[in-house]
Amino acid sequence: MIPVEELLSEIRAYNPKAEESLISEAYAYGLEMHEGQKRHSGEPYFSHPVAVAMILAEQRLDDATIITALLHDTIEDTPASYATVTERFGGEIADLVDGVTKLTNLQLSSTETQQAENFRKLFMAMSKDMRVILVKLADRLHNMRTIKAMRPDKQHQKARETMDIFAPLAGRMGMQWMREELEDLAFKVLNPEARASIIRRFLTLQKASDDVIGRITTDMRHEFSKAGVTAEVLGRAKKPYSIWRKMQEKDIGFSRLSDIYGFRIITDTDADCYAALGAIHQRWRAVPGRFKDYISQPKSNGYRSIHTTVSGRDGKRVEVQIRTHQMHDVAETGVAAHWSYRDGEPSANPFAVDPARWIANLTEQFDAEEDHAEFLEAVKLEMYADKVFCFTPKGEVVKLPRGATPIDFAYAIHTRIGHACVGAKVDGMRVPLWTRVKNGQSVEVITADGQTPQSTWLDIAVTGKARSAIRRALREIDRDRFIKLGRELARAAFDHVGKKATDKALETAAKHLRLTGANEMLARLGSAELTTVQVLGAIYPDMAPDEGDEIGRDLAVIGLEADQSFDRARCCQPLPGERIVGITYRGRGVVVHAIDCDKLSDYDDQPNRWLDLHWHGGKHPAAYEVSLDVTIGNDAGVLGRICTLIGEQKANISDLIFVDRKPDYYRLQVDIELRDAEHLHGVISALEAESDVASIERLRDPSRAAGAQQTVV
């Protein structure tokens, strides 16, 4: 365990004005609270909080963050409470410790819905005080460094969570060194064979090429000396996981991977950065398309540097990053540089972003997402995004993630521009909307009055902002369609009882149903959330049809045009209650498929034929045929009992085919007529309970799709 004096010595080196007595008190208090507790390795538990504090001290962080690290597990795992921590160390530290405790309890690798909600809490905690996540990241780093002591299943869970969440988050915060170490530690657990293979190959390469890093470093220093540039040259090989990821992305073997060496050039001024760049490009040939100037166009997390790739000795590619000392501090520590100290004072690095502004920018688009899956998608898109910089025709810079399209560009300018987009020009040339924009390109958005977002744009857009705006617009468009459909349904229902669906009548019905207005009621009616029986019953309870009346076939599916008929697809045999889509056929109406039908992939390239449909929410007749694949014992009376069970569930057998006969078992295809998905579940449950039924499953056969158009229910 790191002794208190060693920790204080590390802090004293960058902050002579540190409150050493308070830090020592926190050390003693944490030691006392964790007395008798052990880690999985058998070490005293308090060795962990001290190691976390040392990691943060190495980043030159303030006293409050160091003390929080020492106490970060006390509220959760010891008799200490928020009140006692407040009394002894103040409200600021107590709030930080409480924040870390809440983060520790978040199960970020849980189910998608819980994960999305926990991400919301994570960003909420970050928005209150970014230092909470700095402590949590250091906590995770030390846990990963000592992960060997955990059970194998726990190791894998923590490593996966680290790779998916904490490493990208560290990178998004600009803490590149921490991201690389977290990735490599997780990689060691998740794929030890691949990591060991890369290390072996790398050692072999080093022997074959001697000291390539040393030779290139010497060459660079010589060129800078000739150009009169004062610069520090740092060379290194890339981390195993970084090499592995590049091999996977490019789908190439290690032997074909060229740029596995990286060099950092650290200068005193911006002018020296560009002078160093000139010297390098004069000496070595630049690789086209591999130049990025993050000094003139910094990343949103404050990162500044010039990136270039050149062909070095023997044609080997090397990546070069050029930056000043201040830029290097931010590149290494990211937003943590905002709290870093030097000589007892905050270092006030001019390139460190304001954490409050940074987190506000990061979370702006997430607030608009109500759906859990969409929120989670937006978070991960933002966390994993690398940036490209494009220009408007007026020369204004627009930052976008790598892989962005003109649709993303349009929404980045303004939501109204995005909604009205009908085309784009890149560097003066008309391009499709799915074109991937590149660094430095000029993008002009072409708009038209009356244009509305298309559902296909969701497959084109990559930014959370664009996707959120498109989804909201599509929901509004759907709402208008549902209102129109609901109005027609209401008119027909009112006519049926000899009444008129006047605006006043509809408003009165909405009021009785406790809805905000007639349009809200009509939208729900059109989307099958309400029935015409409920609407009529709200103002004419004595005249409304019996709720038990069955839905006729002409009203069974909502979303069709007035003159459109439908058939159920034979391949998937969708039932009321299941999610459905329609595929249009010229002159033959619409064929309705279940949303998960395999045959739908045949129409992926024909989006104009797809219809968004819904089953009516009322009671349907038992007229929808479904095929079951049933295996039963070959004993006297078994088949009769099976047929009786189906009849008891008020389902009619329309056909029965013996598919296979064995001495012990029969395999049957039983076609039964059902009301809805719930009715099917009841039939299957009843048959599964029969001891002579060996297996039963719903039969879905894509080969039967060809006859779907002739299927009539």
Summarised one tens digit per residue, pLDDT across range 577-587 is: 888 999 988 76
SS3 558: strand
Distance in angstroms (rounded) separating the CA atoms of residues 6 and 14: 14
Q: Is the pLDDT of residue 203 over 90?
A: no
Q: Would the pLDDT of 386 be above 70?
A: no
pLDDT (average), residues 397-404 = 80
**Residue 444 above 90 pLDDT?**
yes
Q: Calculate mean pLDDT across residues 119-128.
A: 63
Convert 564-585 to b/e letters by CB count within 10 Å (16 or more is b).
eebbbbbbbbbbbbbebbbbbe
Q: Which of 200-204, 300-304, 623-627 has the highest mean pLDDT?
A: 623-627
23 and 164 fall within a common domain: yes
Q: Are residues 634 and 602 in the same domain?
A: no
Q: Are both 602 and 633 inside the same structural domain?
A: no
The per-residue pLDDT for range 16-61, each reduced to its tens digit, is 888 999 999 999 999 999 988 988 888 899 999 999 999 999 888 8
Does some domain include residue 416?
Answer: no
Q: In the prediction, which pLDDT does 711 show?
A: 35
Q: How far is it, in rounded angstroms, from Cα 572 to Cα 609?
A: 18
* Assigned domain for 241 exists: yes
Q: How far apart are CA 557 and CA 617, in angstroms?
A: 9
Residues 219 and 163 reside in one and the same domain: no
Residues 229, 221: Cα–Cα separation, whole Å: 9
Band (pLDDT 50/70/90 cuts) for residue 633 is: confident
Smallest CA-to-CA distance from 533 within 518, 521, 520, 543 is with 543
Tokens representing 518 are 């007639």
Residue 433 lies in a domain: no
Q: Tens digit of pLDDT for each residue in 491-505?
A: 888 888 888 889 888
- Cα separations in angstroms, 77 against 47, 54, 71, 101, 144: 14, 21, 10, 9, 20
- How far CA 645 is from CA of 237, 633, 649, in Å, comes to 70, 15, 7
Whether residues 13 and 137 share a domain: the answer is yes
Residue carrying structure tokens 């089953």:
615
C-alpha pair distances (Å), 486 with each of 506, 518, 542, 544 = 11, 10, 22, 17
pLDDT reading at 661 higher than 80: yes
Whether residue 117 is predicted with pLDDT greater than 60 in this model: the reply is no
Cα distances (angstroms) measured from residue 92 to each of 96, 129, 314? 6, 10, 57
Nearest to 470 by CA among 484, 454, 493: 454
Please check whether residues 50 and 31 belong to one and the same domain.
Answer: yes
Query: Is residue 463 included in any domain, yes or no?
Result: no
End-to-end CA distance of the chain: 75
CA-CA distance, 713 to 591, in Å (whole number)? 12
The span from the CA of 143 to the CA of 145, in Å, is 5
Domain's final residue, options 597, 615, 633: 615
3-state secondary structure of 420: coil
Mean pLDDT of 576-600: 87
Task: Supply the pLDDT for residue 355.
Answer: 61
Degrees, nearest 5: CA angle 656-659-662: 120
Asked whether residue 212 is assigned to any structural domain, the reply reads yes
Helix, strand and coil percent figures for the chain, each rounded to 5: 50, 15, 30
Whether pLDDT at 256 is above 60: no
Longest dimension (CA), the chain: 100
Does the active-site annotation cover 77? yes
How many CB atoms are located within 10 Å of the residue 677 CB? 18
Q: With contact defined as beta carbons under 8 Å apart, do 424 and 444 qualify?
A: yes
Q: Within this chain, do residues 633 and 608 fall inside the same structural domain, yes or no?
A: no
- Count of domains for the chain: 4
CATH number at residue 146: 1.10.3210.10
| pLDDT over 50 (residue 695) | yes
Note whether 118 and 265 are same-domain residues: no
Residues 63, 150 share a domain: yes
Regarding whether 316 and 207 lie in a shared domain, the answer is yes
Whole-number pLDDT of residue 119:
60
Rg (CA), the chain: 33
pLDDT of res. 278: 93
Residue 76 among the catalytic residues: yes
99 confidence band (pLDDT: 50, 70, 90): confident
Tokens standing for residue 278: 């000139």
Distance CA 268, CA 265 (A): 10
- Spatial CB neighbours of 638, under 8 Å, sequence gap ≥ 6: 632, 692
Task: Based on the fold, state whether residues 99 and 23 are members of the same structural domain.
Answer: yes
CATH number of the CATH domain containing 286: 3.30.460.10
Domain range for 135: 4-190
| Mean pLDDT confidence for 468-481 | 82
Check whether 372 has a pLDDT greater than 60.
no
The 3-state DSSP class for residue 579 equals coil
Q: Among residues 375, 340, 338, which one has the least CA distance to residue 124? A: 375
Kindly indicate the confidence band of residue 588, based on its pLDDT and cuts at 50, 70 and 90. low
Chain position carrying tokens 């001495």: 663
Kindly indicate the confidence band of residue 112, based on its pLDDT and cuts at 50, 70 and 90. very low
Q: Say which CATH number the domain at 665 has.
A: 3.30.70.260
- The whole-chain average pLDDT of the chain stands at 82
| Residue scoring higher pLDDT (489 or 529) | 489
Is 20 a member of any domain?
yes
- What's 163's DSSP letter? I
Active-site residue, from 77, 180, 268, 377: 77
SS (H, E, C) 12-30: HHHCCCCCHHHHHHHHHHH
Q: What's the Cα-to-Cα distance from 79 to each of 35, 72, 110, 331, rounded to whole Å? A: 11, 13, 28, 40
With pLDDT > 90 as the criterion, what percentage of the chain qualifies? Answer: 23
A 10 A CB-CB count for 528 gives 19
- CB distance 291 to 308 below 8 Å: yes
Which of 25, 58, 76, 673 is an active site residue?
A: 76
**Same domain assignment for residues 27 and 161:** yes
Q: Which of 547-556, 578-587, 593-602, 613-622 has the lowest mean pLDDT?
A: 547-556
DSSP element (H, E) containing 585: strand 580-585
Q: Write down the pLDDT at residue 177.
A: 86
Task: Please indicate, yes or no, if residue 181 is contained in any of the structural domains.
Answer: yes
